[in-house]
Amino acid sequence: MRVTAPAKINLHLRVGPPTADGFHPLSSWMVTVGLFDNLEFTLTDTPGVRLTCDDPALPTDASNLVVKTATGLLDAANLSATTGVHIHLTKRIPSGAGLGGGSSDGAFTLLALNKLLDLQWSPDRLASFASRYGSDLAFFCHGPSSVCTGRGEIVPPLAPPKPKYAVLLLPPIHMPTPAVYKRFDQLLSPNQDSALRTQDYSAWPTLAAQNLLPKLINALEPPAFSLSAPLKEIHSHATKILDGRIVRMSGSGSTLFTLYDTRDEAETNAARLRLTLGVNVQTVELAPTGAK
């Protein structure tokens, strides 16, 4: 079985102060984007999970979310002693870029094995199980456009945004999520918690790009930019190149993005950024219906 696992961007991200257990509550509008990893699943006679990957820098041991989720599902289904699976991952989504590639791979591993092994787990059961392994996994079990709250495990759907395209800036900068959250705590604003409680997204999907962009924020931008001067500089330059157009960061970085209503407009401005900044810039579809 072959599946494609999409990346995501956080169109909007509010983060609250950490609770007693150390986790940060959040409110985020997340959408999938047309950038995909590929996963191929083969059942084997040798019990256990074996992962291979075309990227030699990516760990393929038990620390990888694909191995964690596959092993956990086999254990939960009482199949670990009798069932083996070889998974090959073709990696296209950059790691450490705020695009949720690892989480998507883990979630789509669960979705694929549920079908391949005919477990007949419901989407809600899969999403609940997936949330054990990280805050973004439940979203990928639902998608393609959802508001994620709590730790990310509460995932009510929201209509996809009216703008159909995003321009992604993918600088070769790895932003460790724990470090960004640690700096967030150091810079914490006292109004973060109230912002979570009052956020209303209901009308946002109807807005064209020029009206939607001013509403979007990412509470992790200030800590990320304070940790990485190069990322802050790329953000500043991109904003100037696009004549002041709003550019946002996805997740804890380092991917930056802006939105457009048409592909032509997106690709024209992506070319401007690519020529001037010298970084990887891609035009992607928002909430795509399939792999490209």
Residues marked active site are found at: 8, 136
What are the residues whose beta carbons fall under 8 Å from the beta carbon of 198, sequence distance 6 or more?
Answer: none
The full 3-state SS of the chain, as one line of letters, equals CEEEEEEEEEEEEEECCCCCCCCCCEEEEEEEEEEEEEEEEEEECCCEEEEEECCCCCCCCCCCHHHHHHHHHHHHCCCCCCCEEEEEEECCCCCCCCCCHHHHHHHHHHHHHHHHCCCCCCHHHHHHHHHHHCCCHHHHHHCCEEEEEECCCECCECCCCCCCEEEEEECCCCCCHHHHHHHHHHCCCCCHHHHHHHCCCCCHHHCCHHHHHHHCCECCHHHHHHHCHHHHHHHHHHHHHCCCCCCEECCCCCCEEEEECCHHHHHHHHHHHHHHHCCEEEEEEECCCCCC
Residue type, 146: S
d(CA 149, CA 189): 19
d(CA 228, CA 209): 28
Per DSSP bridges, beta strands 248-249 and 26-44 are unpaired
**Residue 60: burial class (beta carbons within 10 Å; 0-12, 13-18, 19+):** middle
